[in-house]
Amino acid sequence: MNGPFQLAVFDLDGVLADSARLHFVAWKAIADELGIPFGERANEALKGVDRMGSLRAILAIGGVNLPPDEMERLATRKNVAYLDVVETMGPQDLLPGARRLLDAVRARGMPATLASASRNAPRVLERLGIADVFAHVADPARLAPKPAPDLFLDGARFLGIDPQACVGFEDAGAGVVAIKAARMRAIGIGAATDLPGADQVYPTTDAIDIDRAFG
């Protein structure tokens, strides 16, 4: 649909902050310990994937099978390592253009919600200094992960807004699929070849044409 839009729904990693690199460092330590080759390209495939889904994908790369209790232990270790690094984050870790985008949403009188697969998203928002921007943060612990639309629909339902009056921002293919399944406009950030189905694609958050995205 064409505007006007009533709600902006954001992914976090790779859209507003470069926390994806922090996840990579933490996951790579686990992969190295298990002797599994895990590089930047493999990490790209984990965008928008929850913690246990990411661990399963890494184990699949190495053809490694582990019992559930060991998988839980590794996932917990990864999360502890990630949270240690999160505490070093600050507003300087916002991606270029992120503040401009959030300010544009506010200037239009639109609420914003967060649709991140990370259970640590609320703490990351606090560290970045933008927690007050969001009227609602979806809880991935109780919702189906992307590419299901639940994380994006949650904020719209919380605020009572028609999903077709919402615009979502994503850097992951699974996230774009989720946005379209939610019947929202999808703004992709990254390479167009990695984001099929997006209504608009920009190489970076800083490159987003604000008027066109909300027009």
How far is CA 7 from each of CA 98, 108, 113, rounded to the nearest angstrom?
Answer: 16, 10, 8
- How far is 5 from 135, CA to CA, in rounded Å? 16
Which of 150-176 are b and which e, b meaning 16 or more Cβ less than 10 Å from the residue's Cβ? bbbbbbbeeeebebebbbbbbbbbbbb
Known catalytic residue at 11 = yes
Closest C-alpha to 16, from 199, 192, 187: 187
- How far is 213 from 81, CA to CA, in rounded Å? 36
155 close to 7: Cβ distance less than 8 angstroms: yes
| φ, ψ (nearest 5 deg) of residue 193 | -65, -25
Known catalytic residue at 13 = yes
- How far is 48 from 32, CA to CA, in rounded Å? 22
Residues tagged active-site:
11, 13
